[in-house]
Amino acid sequence: MDLESVGDLAIHMIMENLKPEDIATISCVSNRFRSFTSDDTLWFKICSTELSLTQPIDHLGNPLPSFKEAYQTWREAFVMYPWSLVKRVKRCWDNIKTWLANNFPEAKDTLCQGASEAEIQELEDVLHVKLPLPTRILYRFHNGQEIEKLDPDTNAFGTSLGIIGGYSFYDHLVNVYLLPISQVIQETQQISQNLGFLRRSKNLLTNRDMMPCVPHNLISLHHELDSEEIQDAMLLWLEEHGRRLQRGFIKLLDEGNARSINLFPEELPLCSTAVTNGVQVRASALVIPELADLQDEGQKYLFSYSIRLSLQPQGCVINGMSYRSCQLYWRHWIIHANDVVVSDVDGEAVIGMYPLLRPGDKEFVYQSCASLPTSSGSVEGSFTFVPGRLVDPRGDPFLATVARFPLQLPDYIY
Protein backbone atom coordinates (compact mmCIF):
# COMPACT_ATOMS: atom_id res chain seq x y z
CA MET A 1 0.00 0.00 0.00
CA ASP A 2 1.46 3.39 -1.02
CA LEU A 3 0.90 6.70 0.79
CA GLU A 4 -1.57 7.92 -1.82
CA SER A 5 -3.99 5.19 -0.72
CA VAL A 6 -3.83 6.15 2.97
CA GLY A 7 -7.03 7.79 4.23
CA ASP A 8 -7.32 11.51 4.95
CA LEU A 9 -7.77 11.07 8.71
CA ALA A 10 -4.69 8.89 9.00
CA ILE A 11 -2.64 11.38 6.96
CA HIS A 12 -3.80 14.22 9.16
CA MET A 13 -2.87 12.28 12.31
CA ILE A 14 0.57 11.56 10.89
CA MET A 15 1.06 15.23 10.00
CA GLU A 16 0.23 16.32 13.55
CA ASN A 17 3.16 14.30 14.88
CA LEU A 18 5.75 15.58 12.44
CA LYS A 19 8.19 18.42 12.88
CA PRO A 20 7.54 21.59 10.84
CA GLU A 21 10.65 20.87 8.73
CA ASP A 22 9.30 17.42 7.82
CA ILE A 23 5.89 18.86 6.98
CA ALA A 24 7.54 21.32 4.60
CA THR A 25 9.37 18.42 2.90
CA ILE A 26 6.20 16.33 2.55
CA SER A 27 4.40 19.25 0.91
CA CYS A 28 6.67 18.74 -2.10
CA VAL A 29 5.62 15.12 -2.62
CA SER A 30 2.24 15.69 -4.28
CA ASN A 31 -0.64 18.09 -4.66
CA ARG A 32 -2.65 16.03 -2.20
CA PHE A 33 0.02 16.28 0.49
CA ARG A 34 0.50 19.96 -0.28
CA SER A 35 -3.18 20.43 0.45
CA PHE A 36 -2.83 18.65 3.80
CA THR A 37 0.22 20.71 4.78
CA SER A 38 -1.68 23.92 4.04
CA ASP A 39 -4.39 23.08 6.60
CA ASP A 40 -4.23 25.98 9.06
CA THR A 41 -5.42 23.86 11.99
CA LEU A 42 -2.14 21.97 11.64
CA TRP A 43 -0.12 25.19 11.78
CA PHE A 44 -2.24 26.50 14.63
CA LYS A 45 -1.16 23.51 16.70
CA ILE A 46 2.48 24.09 15.75
CA CYS A 47 2.31 27.82 16.58
CA SER A 48 0.54 27.06 19.86
CA THR A 49 3.05 24.38 20.89
CA GLU A 50 6.25 26.13 19.84
CA LEU A 51 5.36 29.81 20.30
CA SER A 52 2.25 29.84 22.53
CA LEU A 53 0.41 31.81 19.86
CA THR A 54 -3.37 31.99 19.99
CA GLN A 55 -3.62 34.36 17.02
CA PRO A 56 -1.61 34.51 13.78
CA ILE A 57 0.81 37.38 14.45
CA ASP A 58 4.46 38.13 13.78
CA HIS A 59 7.07 38.78 16.48
CA LEU A 60 6.16 42.48 16.51
CA GLY A 61 2.49 41.71 17.15
CA ASN A 62 1.28 42.50 13.63
CA PRO A 63 -1.68 40.36 12.45
CA LEU A 64 -1.17 37.86 9.63
CA PRO A 65 -3.75 36.01 7.49
CA SER A 66 -2.91 32.48 8.67
CA PHE A 67 -0.97 30.48 11.25
CA LYS A 68 1.08 28.93 8.47
CA GLU A 69 2.24 32.37 7.35
CA ALA A 70 2.80 33.35 10.99
CA TYR A 71 5.12 30.39 11.54
CA GLN A 72 7.01 31.07 8.32
CA THR A 73 7.39 34.74 9.25
CA TRP A 74 8.75 33.89 12.70
CA ARG A 75 11.28 31.44 11.29
CA GLU A 76 12.43 33.95 8.67
CA ALA A 77 12.71 36.79 11.22
CA PHE A 78 15.02 34.72 13.43
CA VAL A 79 16.74 32.59 10.80
CA MET A 80 20.18 33.69 12.02
CA TYR A 81 19.56 32.33 15.57
CA PRO A 82 19.12 28.83 17.04
CA TRP A 83 15.37 28.22 16.99
CA SER A 84 15.27 26.55 20.42
CA LEU A 85 16.94 29.63 21.92
CA VAL A 86 14.39 31.91 20.22
CA LYS A 87 11.57 29.87 21.79
CA ARG A 88 13.21 30.07 25.20
CA VAL A 89 13.57 33.85 24.98
CA LYS A 90 9.93 34.15 23.93
CA ARG A 91 8.85 32.10 26.97
CA CYS A 92 10.88 34.45 29.17
CA TRP A 93 9.17 37.52 27.73
CA ASP A 94 5.75 35.84 27.85
CA ASN A 95 6.10 35.14 31.59
CA ILE A 96 7.00 38.74 32.33
CA LYS A 97 4.38 40.26 30.04
CA THR A 98 1.61 38.01 31.36
CA TRP A 99 2.32 39.17 34.90
CA LEU A 100 2.52 42.80 33.77
CA ALA A 101 -0.78 42.53 31.87
CA ASN A 102 -2.55 41.12 34.93
CA ASN A 103 -0.94 43.33 37.57
CA PHE A 104 0.90 46.32 36.09
CA PRO A 105 -0.49 47.10 32.60
CA GLU A 106 0.83 50.67 32.61
CA ALA A 107 4.37 49.27 32.76
CA LYS A 108 3.66 46.75 29.99
CA ASP A 109 2.54 49.65 27.79
CA THR A 110 6.05 51.13 27.97
CA LEU A 111 7.68 48.15 26.22
CA CYS A 112 8.99 49.11 22.78
CA GLN A 113 8.71 47.03 19.67
CA GLY A 114 11.64 44.79 18.93
CA ALA A 115 14.93 46.17 17.66
CA SER A 116 16.11 45.46 14.13
CA GLU A 117 19.32 43.63 13.32
CA ALA A 118 20.65 46.95 12.01
CA GLU A 119 20.06 48.65 15.38
CA ILE A 120 21.79 45.85 17.24
CA GLN A 121 24.69 45.96 14.80
CA GLU A 122 24.99 49.73 15.31
CA LEU A 123 25.36 49.20 19.07
CA GLU A 124 28.09 46.62 18.51
CA ASP A 125 29.93 48.84 16.02
CA VAL A 126 29.75 52.05 18.07
CA LEU A 127 30.63 50.47 21.43
CA HIS A 128 33.05 47.87 20.00
CA VAL A 129 31.29 44.97 21.71
CA LYS A 130 29.81 41.67 20.63
CA LEU A 131 26.47 40.95 22.25
CA PRO A 132 25.75 37.36 23.28
CA LEU A 133 23.05 35.63 21.23
CA PRO A 134 20.46 35.58 24.06
CA THR A 135 20.77 39.34 24.59
CA ARG A 136 20.42 39.99 20.87
CA ILE A 137 17.23 37.92 20.76
CA LEU A 138 15.86 39.59 23.89
CA TYR A 139 16.21 42.96 22.17
CA ARG A 140 14.70 41.60 18.95
CA PHE A 141 11.50 41.05 20.95
CA HIS A 142 11.50 44.36 22.84
CA ASN A 143 13.91 47.26 22.41
CA GLY A 144 13.72 48.38 26.03
CA GLN A 145 11.11 50.65 27.57
CA GLU A 146 9.94 53.99 26.25
CA ILE A 147 9.45 55.69 29.60
CA GLU A 148 9.93 59.32 28.65
CA LYS A 149 7.54 59.20 25.69
CA LEU A 150 4.77 57.80 27.87
CA ASP A 151 5.23 60.49 30.51
CA PRO A 152 7.28 63.45 29.25
CA ASP A 153 7.20 65.10 32.68
CA THR A 154 8.86 62.11 34.34
CA ASN A 155 12.59 61.94 34.86
CA ALA A 156 13.70 58.58 33.47
CA PHE A 157 15.66 57.68 36.58
CA GLY A 158 12.81 58.64 38.90
CA THR A 159 10.04 56.74 37.11
CA SER A 160 8.12 54.00 38.89
CA LEU A 161 7.33 52.01 35.74
CA GLY A 162 10.55 50.02 35.41
CA ILE A 163 9.79 46.38 34.64
CA ILE A 164 12.69 45.26 36.85
CA GLY A 165 11.43 47.28 39.83
CA GLY A 166 13.28 48.94 42.65
CA TYR A 167 13.55 49.98 46.27
CA SER A 168 13.92 53.03 48.44
CA PHE A 169 15.23 53.99 51.86
CA TYR A 170 15.59 57.48 53.27
CA ASP A 171 16.15 59.73 50.23
CA HIS A 172 17.68 56.96 48.09
CA LEU A 173 15.24 55.88 45.35
CA VAL A 174 15.96 53.30 42.65
CA ASN A 175 13.68 51.96 39.93
CA VAL A 176 15.24 49.90 37.15
CA TYR A 177 13.90 49.86 33.62
CA LEU A 178 15.16 48.26 30.42
CA LEU A 179 17.09 50.76 28.31
CA PRO A 180 16.44 51.06 24.57
CA ILE A 181 19.50 50.45 22.39
CA SER A 182 19.88 54.14 21.50
CA GLN A 183 20.01 55.03 25.18
CA VAL A 184 22.44 52.19 25.92
CA ILE A 185 24.78 53.70 23.33
CA GLN A 186 24.34 57.25 24.60
CA GLU A 187 24.78 56.50 28.28
CA THR A 188 27.68 54.10 27.78
CA GLN A 189 29.53 56.77 25.83
CA GLN A 190 28.85 59.33 28.56
CA ILE A 191 30.06 56.95 31.26
CA SER A 192 33.17 56.08 29.28
CA GLN A 193 34.03 59.75 28.93
CA ASN A 194 33.54 60.37 32.62
CA LEU A 195 36.71 58.91 34.09
CA GLY A 196 35.56 59.82 37.58
CA PHE A 197 32.94 57.07 37.32
CA LEU A 198 35.47 54.38 38.13
CA ARG A 199 36.67 56.23 41.19
CA ARG A 200 33.16 56.66 42.56
CA SER A 201 31.95 53.13 41.84
CA LYS A 202 34.39 51.24 44.00
CA ASN A 203 32.71 47.91 43.33
CA LEU A 204 33.80 48.20 39.66
CA LEU A 205 37.49 48.89 40.12
CA THR A 206 38.81 45.54 38.94
CA ASN A 207 37.38 42.33 37.53
CA ARG A 208 38.37 40.60 40.74
CA ASP A 209 36.17 42.93 42.74
CA MET A 210 33.14 43.09 40.48
CA MET A 211 29.85 41.98 41.97
CA PRO A 212 28.22 39.35 39.70
CA CYS A 213 24.50 39.74 39.05
CA VAL A 214 23.88 36.02 38.34
CA PRO A 215 25.67 32.79 39.31
CA HIS A 216 28.72 32.81 37.05
CA ASN A 217 28.80 29.03 36.68
CA LEU A 218 25.42 29.11 34.89
CA ILE A 219 26.63 31.31 32.01
CA SER A 220 27.29 29.29 28.83
CA LEU A 221 28.11 31.24 25.67
CA HIS A 222 29.97 28.66 23.57
CA HIS A 223 28.18 28.39 20.23
CA GLU A 224 29.30 24.81 19.78
CA LEU A 225 27.04 23.85 22.69
CA ASP A 226 23.53 22.63 22.07
CA SER A 227 21.44 25.76 21.53
CA GLU A 228 19.26 24.82 24.53
CA GLU A 229 22.31 25.34 26.75
CA ILE A 230 23.35 28.79 25.48
CA GLN A 231 22.54 31.35 28.15
CA ASP A 232 24.00 34.68 29.17
CA ALA A 233 23.59 36.76 32.30
CA MET A 234 20.78 38.89 30.89
CA LEU A 235 18.59 35.93 29.93
CA LEU A 236 19.20 34.16 33.24
CA TRP A 237 18.49 37.41 35.06
CA LEU A 238 15.17 38.08 33.30
CA GLU A 239 14.05 34.45 33.60
CA GLU A 240 14.60 34.58 37.36
CA HIS A 241 12.80 37.92 37.54
CA GLY A 242 9.78 36.42 35.77
CA ARG A 243 9.73 33.47 38.20
CA ARG A 244 9.84 35.81 41.21
CA LEU A 245 6.94 37.85 39.84
CA GLN A 246 4.83 34.80 39.00
CA ARG A 247 5.41 33.20 42.42
CA GLY A 248 4.65 36.36 44.39
CA PHE A 249 8.17 36.49 45.81
CA ILE A 250 8.19 40.17 44.85
CA LYS A 251 5.02 42.22 44.48
CA LEU A 252 3.55 45.50 43.39
CA LEU A 253 3.81 48.45 45.76
CA ASP A 254 0.90 50.89 45.62
CA GLU A 255 1.67 54.31 47.04
CA GLY A 256 -1.09 56.75 46.19
CA ASN A 257 -0.86 57.62 42.50
CA ALA A 258 2.40 55.73 41.94
CA ARG A 259 2.73 51.98 41.58
CA SER A 260 5.98 50.09 41.22
CA ILE A 261 7.50 46.63 41.47
CA ASN A 262 8.95 46.36 44.96
CA LEU A 263 12.10 44.21 45.14
CA PHE A 264 11.97 43.61 48.89
CA PRO A 265 11.18 39.87 49.27
CA GLU A 266 7.66 39.01 50.38
CA GLU A 267 7.99 35.28 51.03
CA LEU A 268 10.00 32.85 53.15
CA PRO A 269 12.86 32.26 53.63
CA LEU A 270 13.93 35.86 52.99
CA CYS A 271 10.90 37.52 54.58
CA SER A 272 10.15 36.80 58.23
CA THR A 273 6.77 37.17 59.96
CA ALA A 274 5.99 37.33 63.68
CA VAL A 275 2.72 38.07 65.50
CA THR A 276 2.74 39.22 69.12
CA ASN A 277 -0.47 40.21 70.92
CA GLY A 278 -2.10 40.90 67.56
CA VAL A 279 0.78 43.01 66.19
CA GLN A 280 2.17 41.55 62.99
CA VAL A 281 5.71 42.40 61.93
CA ARG A 282 7.00 41.39 58.50
CA ALA A 283 10.62 42.08 57.61
CA SER A 284 13.02 41.49 54.72
CA ALA A 285 16.17 43.00 53.26
CA LEU A 286 18.13 43.32 50.04
CA VAL A 287 21.65 44.34 49.11
CA ILE A 288 22.19 47.81 47.59
CA PRO A 289 24.78 47.04 44.88
CA GLU A 290 25.36 50.63 43.77
CA LEU A 291 26.44 51.62 47.30
CA ALA A 292 28.63 48.61 48.02
CA ASP A 293 32.30 49.38 48.63
CA LEU A 294 34.30 46.20 48.15
CA GLN A 295 37.51 48.01 49.12
CA ASP A 296 36.21 48.81 52.60
CA GLU A 297 37.03 45.89 54.87
CA GLY A 298 34.76 47.21 57.61
CA GLN A 299 31.63 48.07 55.61
CA LYS A 300 31.76 46.28 52.27
CA TYR A 301 28.04 45.68 51.82
CA LEU A 302 25.10 47.98 52.41
CA PHE A 303 21.73 46.33 53.01
CA SER A 304 18.38 48.05 53.12
CA TYR A 305 15.60 46.43 55.13
CA SER A 306 11.86 46.95 54.94
CA ILE A 307 9.63 46.64 58.01
CA ARG A 308 5.84 46.22 57.66
CA LEU A 309 3.67 46.71 60.76
CA SER A 310 -0.04 45.98 61.09
CA LEU A 311 -2.66 45.13 63.71
CA GLN A 312 -4.77 42.04 63.16
CA PRO A 313 -8.61 42.20 63.05
CA GLN A 314 -9.03 41.20 66.71
CA GLY A 315 -6.96 44.21 67.75
CA CYS A 316 -4.25 44.27 70.37
CA VAL A 317 -4.90 41.44 72.85
CA ILE A 318 -3.09 41.37 76.21
CA ASN A 319 -4.05 39.03 79.04
CA GLY A 320 -7.46 38.50 77.49
CA MET A 321 -8.13 42.23 77.11
CA SER A 322 -8.63 43.59 73.58
CA TYR A 323 -7.62 47.11 72.54
CA ARG A 324 -8.57 48.75 69.24
CA SER A 325 -5.19 50.41 68.78
CA CYS A 326 -1.60 50.42 69.92
CA GLN A 327 1.30 52.79 69.26
CA LEU A 328 4.99 52.13 68.79
CA TYR A 329 7.35 53.75 71.26
CA TRP A 330 10.75 51.98 71.19
CA ARG A 331 12.87 49.70 69.02
CA HIS A 332 15.66 47.23 69.73
CA TRP A 333 17.84 45.78 66.96
CA ILE A 334 20.51 43.07 67.07
CA ILE A 335 22.52 42.91 63.84
CA HIS A 336 24.81 39.98 63.02
CA ALA A 337 27.62 39.68 60.49
CA ASN A 338 27.68 35.92 59.94
CA ASP A 339 27.15 34.81 63.56
CA VAL A 340 28.92 37.73 65.24
CA VAL A 341 26.91 40.57 66.78
CA VAL A 342 28.15 43.81 65.21
CA SER A 343 25.41 46.13 66.47
CA ASP A 344 22.99 46.15 69.39
CA VAL A 345 20.81 49.25 69.15
CA ASP A 346 18.07 50.70 71.34
CA GLY A 347 16.25 53.81 70.25
CA GLU A 348 13.03 55.75 70.39
CA ALA A 349 10.59 55.63 67.44
CA VAL A 350 11.39 54.45 63.88
CA ILE A 351 12.74 56.97 61.35
CA GLY A 352 11.42 59.66 63.68
CA MET A 353 7.86 58.31 63.68
CA TYR A 354 5.56 56.67 66.23
CA PRO A 355 3.13 54.65 64.09
CA LEU A 356 -0.38 54.08 65.46
CA LEU A 357 -1.78 50.69 64.46
CA ARG A 358 -5.49 49.95 64.12
CA PRO A 359 -7.33 46.91 62.68
CA GLY A 360 -8.06 47.31 58.99
CA ASP A 361 -5.48 50.03 58.36
CA LYS A 362 -2.85 49.54 55.66
CA GLU A 363 0.52 48.26 56.80
CA PHE A 364 2.84 50.90 58.15
CA VAL A 365 5.98 50.43 56.06
CA TYR A 366 9.38 51.95 56.55
CA GLN A 367 12.90 51.26 55.32
CA SER A 368 16.29 51.69 56.89
CA CYS A 369 19.78 50.30 56.24
CA ALA A 370 22.76 48.57 57.78
CA SER A 371 26.35 48.00 56.64
CA LEU A 372 28.22 44.73 57.07
CA PRO A 373 31.82 43.66 56.51
CA THR A 374 30.54 40.27 55.32
CA SER A 375 28.19 39.18 52.54
CA SER A 376 25.79 37.53 54.97
CA GLY A 377 24.26 38.30 58.31
CA SER A 378 20.90 38.82 59.94
CA VAL A 379 18.72 41.19 61.92
CA GLU A 380 16.33 40.47 64.78
CA GLY A 381 14.82 42.47 67.59
CA SER A 382 11.60 43.89 68.97
CA PHE A 383 9.36 46.94 69.12
CA THR A 384 7.84 48.29 72.31
CA PHE A 385 4.16 49.14 71.89
CA VAL A 386 1.67 50.82 74.22
CA PRO A 387 -2.00 49.75 74.09
CA GLY A 388 -4.15 52.69 73.07
CA ARG A 389 -2.03 55.79 72.37
CA LEU A 390 1.14 57.19 73.87
CA VAL A 391 -0.82 60.20 75.12
CA ASP A 392 -3.61 57.94 76.44
CA PRO A 393 -2.16 54.51 77.35
CA ARG A 394 -4.73 51.83 78.19
CA GLY A 395 -2.37 49.20 79.53
CA ASP A 396 1.22 48.25 80.18
CA PRO A 397 3.82 48.38 77.36
CA PHE A 398 4.61 45.11 75.61
CA LEU A 399 7.26 43.80 73.22
CA ALA A 400 6.39 42.80 69.65
CA THR A 401 8.95 40.39 68.22
CA VAL A 402 10.81 41.01 64.99
CA ALA A 403 11.71 37.50 63.81
CA ARG A 404 15.21 37.08 62.46
CA PHE A 405 15.54 37.87 58.76
CA PRO A 406 18.65 37.45 56.61
CA LEU A 407 21.04 40.02 55.21
CA GLN A 408 22.75 38.18 52.39
CA LEU A 409 24.29 38.71 49.00
CA PRO A 410 21.90 36.87 46.66
CA ASP A 411 22.65 34.82 43.58
CA TYR A 412 20.64 37.26 41.48
CA ILE A 413 21.24 40.96 42.12
CA TYR A 414 18.77 43.57 40.94
pLDDT reported for residue 3:
56
Contacts 24+ apart (CB under 8 A), 177-180: 177/110, 177/144, 177/145, 177/147, 178/111, 178/142, 178/144, 178/145, 179/144, 179/145, 180/112, 180/115, 180/143, 180/144, 180/145, 180/146
> What is the per-residue pLDDT across 102-149, written as a single tens digit (0 to 9) for each?
999 999 999 999 999 999 999 999 999 999 999 999 999 999 999 864
Q: If you average pLDDT over residues 374-389, what whole number do you get?
A: 97
List Cα–Cα distances, 290 to 144, 155, 156, 413, in angstroms: 21, 19, 17, 11
On the question of pLDDT at 406 being above 60, the answer is yes
On the question of pLDDT at 410 being above 80, the answer is yes
Sorting pLDDT into bands at 50, 70 and 90, what band is 11? Answer: low
Helices (H), 219-269: 233-247
Are residues 72 and 47 in contact, defined by beta-carbon separation less than 8 angstroms? Answer: no
pLDDT reported for residue 106:
95
The per-residue pLDDT of the chain, averaged, comes to: 87
Cα separation of 141 and 112, whole Å? 9
On the question of pLDDT at 22 being above 90, the answer is no
| CA triple 402-408-410, angle to 5 deg | 130
On the question of pLDDT at 201 being above 70, the answer is no
Q: If you average pLDDT over residues 205-223, what whole number do you get?
A: 69
Sorting pLDDT into bands at 50, 70 and 90, what band is 199? Answer: very low
**b/e per residue, 41-73, with b = 16+ CB within 10 A?**
ebbbebbeebbebeebbbbeeeebeebbebbbb
Predicted TM-score (pTM) of the model is: 0.87
- 27 forms beta bridges with none
On the question of pLDDT at 305 being above 70, the answer is yes
Report the SS3 class of residue 31: helix
pLDDT reported for residue 5:
62
Sorting pLDDT into bands at 50, 70 and 90, what band is 200? Answer: very low
334/188: higher pLDDT: 334
Whose CA is closest to 128, among 182, 178, 189?
189
